Amino acid sequence: MSQVRDAAVAALLDNPTTARIRPVFEGNNISYAIGFKHINYVAEAAVLNHFRAAGWPVGALYKRLGLGFEVVEIRSRLGALLDVDDEAEAVVTPATKEGANEFTFKVAQYVQRDGERVKCADSTVRVALRIDGHIAAQEDYPAGLEPFAVARLGDGERRELAATPRPYGLLNEGRGVFGGDPVLDELIGEENAFGWRWRVPYFYCHFNERVQMSGFLRIMEEAEDLFLAERGLAIKEVLDTRNWIPVVTQSQLRLLGETRMEEELYTVYTIENIFKSLLYTARMDCYVVRDGALVKTATGTITHGYLTEHAPNQWSMATLDESAIEALSTPKRVTA
């Protein structure tokens, strides 16, 4: 970028960084492997480290400049398994285009396997700096940072709503509603889709008010879990009876707007295609109801398959049988 910039901003935009990051043990759900959500968390952690290395840790951005660090998009392709004991070498390469109002970074994760450096994931991470209305900036923005400071993360995609939303109930109403909801029925229509209505808790949020990227990654994983259970492919049962466990090869999530703490989120999980009895791709769309209209606040896709353990600690791709393909292809209808 050609404009005059503060040295720390220049470092954010120009200088690659490398961090050694261990995945969090929470992500070790099956055997010794780390799941897709925590692989994305490693990519986010690498970008956070990139900001620290440039001299702008996210706490300082917030306290001194009144800016909230926001991952607004993350796209990841998974290659090799990430082991619970791995220390990933995460290489962050700036890739922000001239005139952009979001930072873009390429993040590559490498691990050591039998003395060789193996790439286990590639990600593209986009970051905005959200101006926070709760606090006042203590100092001026450094030169070159202002284009990345945005008043909102977007306004979402609005569409008319014909259905009348039903009252949700109390804050402690469990995992929400999975069928028979008029708004979900309108959103799903005749699609091969699953719907989930749920009130988002504060611990999926940050900066006092809105759901952060890691929260939507958790929502995507839970939507998949609930969808599979509805289709008769509950993860534990399939693991016990077929020795299959879901595996993710690609994922993508984009925030289109802001989802506020404790809003009711309508999540629609749609099967888009099934590829050669090995993989299936699903799209997740998340909505809130505001001023009588539906507002899409996040969207993403995920590609799933199944692994099977053919020998102790040795995994390979499983072929989907006819009953699994039928379950993935046939929606269940619960109407209001």
Reported as a single tens digit per residue, the pLDDT across 226-271 is 999 999 999 999 999 999 999 999 999 999 999 999 999 999 999 9
Q: What is the mean pLDDT of residues 134-138?
A: 91
Residues 139 and 158 in one domain: no
Residues 201 and 304 in one domain: yes
Q: What is the mean pLDDT of residues 121-150?
A: 95
Instruction: Indicate the pLDDT class of residue 334, thresholds 50, 70 and 90.
Output: low
- Assess whether pLDDT exceeds 80 at residue 302: yes
**Listed residues 110, 127, 151: the one ending a domain:** 151
Residues 138 and 159 in one domain: no
Residues 138 and 156 in one domain: no
- Assess whether pLDDT exceeds 50 at residue 1: no
Q: How far apart are CA 70 and CA 103, in angstroms?
A: 10
Q: How far apart are CA 217 and CA 253, in angstroms?
A: 8
Q: Given this model, what pLDDT does residue 2 score?
A: 47
Single-letter amino acid, residue 299:
T
Q: Given this model, what pLDDT does residue 312 score?
A: 80
Residues 158 and 133 in one domain: no
Contacts of 173 (CB under 8 A, 6+ apart): 199
Instruction: Indicate the pLDDT class of residue 166, thresholds 50, 70 and 90.
Output: confident
Residues 157 and 52 in one domain: no
Instruction: Indicate the pLDDT class of residue 331, thresholds 50, 70 and 90.
Output: confident
Q: What is the mean pLDDT of residues 283-297?
A: 96
Residues 174 and 129 in one domain: no
Q: Given this model, what pLDDT does residue 19 score?
A: 98
Q: Tally Cβ neighbours within 10 Å of residue 138.
A: 9
Q: Tally Cβ neighbours within 10 Å of residue 321.
A: 12
Residues 252 and 320 in one domain: yes
Instruction: Indicate the pLDDT class of residue 277, thresholds 50, 70 and 90.
Output: very high
- Over residues 55-106, the pLDDT tens digits come to 999 999 999 999 999 999 999 999 999 999 999 999 999 999 999 999 999 9
Spell out the SS3 assignment of 258-271: CCECCCEEEEEEEE
Query: In 100-209, at which residue ranges do the beta strands (DSSP E only) sit?
Result: 103-113, 116-131, 149-150, 157-160, 193-199, 205-206
Q: Report the first-to-last Cα separation within the chain, whole angstroms.
A: 54
In this structure, of 34-43, 49-58, 60-69, 310-319, the range with the lowest mean pLDDT score is 310-319
CATH of the domain at 123: 3.10.129.10
Q: Tally Cβ neighbours within 10 Å of residue 182.
A: 15
DSSP bridge pairs for 112 = 117
Residues 114 and 173 in one domain: no
Q: Given this model, what pLDDT does residue 4 score?
A: 72
Residue 22 near residue 87, CB atoms below 8 Å: yes
Q: Given this model, what pLDDT does residue 276 score?
A: 87
Q: Which domain holds residue 262?
A: 152-336
- Over residues 203-216, the pLDDT tens digits come to 999 999 999 999 99
Instruction: Indicate the pLDDT class of residue 172, thresholds 50, 70 and 90.
Output: low
Measured in degrees and rounded to the nearest 5, phi and psi for residue 16 equal -70, 155
Q: How far apart are CA 318 and CA 246, in angstroms?
A: 10
Q: Given this model, what pLDDT does residue 170 score?
A: 62
Tokens of 273: 């295609």
277: left (phi over 0), alpha (psi -120 to 50) or beta: left
Q: What is the mean pLDDT of residues 289-317?
A: 92
Mean pLDDT for all residues in the chain: 93
Q: Given this model, what pLDDT does residue 183 score?
A: 95
**Listed residues 92, 127, 151: the one ending a domain:** 151
Q: What is the mean pLDDT of residues 271-284?
A: 95
Contacts of 47 (CB under 8 A, 6+ apart): 71, 92, 105, 107, 125, 127
Strand pairing category for 205-206 and 210-211: antiparallel
Residues 232 and 97 in one domain: no
Instruction: Indicate the pLDDT class of residue 9, thresholds 50, 70 and 90.
Output: very high
**Listed residues 120, 151, 182: the one ending a domain:** 151
Measured between alpha carbons, how far is residue 332 from residues 7, 156, 253 in Å?
57, 29, 26
Q: How many domains does the chain have?
A: 2
Residues 1 and 131 in one domain: yes
